[in-house]
Amino acid sequence: MEVWKLSMRLTDKIYDLTEKFPIDQRYGLSSQMQRCAVSIPSNIAEGCARASKKEFIQFLYIVRGSLAELETQMILSFARKYIEKEIYKEICLIIESINKMLGKLIKSQKQPSTHDA
């Protein structure tokens, strides 16, 4: 799935980014952002493994929540000057892309399939 691949790329970027945060943030914001980022592809994968579309959609909504959380953490990191503007913009664009992909995926999963008729 493309959304999973992009979320893996996002997670990798978050790890690279947070490694450069101040040492006093190692167990604070840095750790929180890493856990949040990891939950995104993890919940996509877990949702895919579920038996029903309803469960899959539920996991996709959880992913959307994690994206909103990560976006908030990015805003805070930028405001605290832990990250540069270019990196901030790049990661926010990836978050936005994943969110759009999730919207399309959720919509497609809500459509009745030809097997449901």
Query: Per the domain annotation, does 114 fall within a domain?
Result: no
Residues 10-68 pLDDT 10s: 999 999 999 999 999 988 999 999 999 999 999 999 999 998 999 999 999 999 999 99
Planar angle of CA 41, 45, 48, nearest 5 degrees: 140
Q: What is the pLDDT of residue 86?
A: 97
Q: What is the pLDDT of residue 117?
A: 47
Convert 49-98 into a string of H (helix), E (strand) and C (coil).
HCCCHHHHHHHHHHHHHHHHHHHHHHHHHHHCCCCCHHHHHHHHHHHHHH
Which residues, at least 6 apart from 31, have a Cβ–Cβ distance to it below 8 Å? 18
Query: Per the domain annotation, does 23 fall within a domain?
Result: yes
DSSP state of 23: G
Domain count, the chain: 1
Q: What is the pLDDT of residue 79?
A: 97
Query: Per the domain annotation, does 79 fall within a domain?
Result: yes
Say whether pLDDT at 116 is over 60: no
More confident residue, 51 or 92: 92
Cα of 112 vs its chain's centroid, Å: 27
Q: What is the pLDDT of residue 26?
A: 86
Distance CA 33, CA 80 (A): 14
Read off the pLDDT band of 114 (50, 70, 90).
low
CATH code: domain of residue 70: 1.20.1440.60
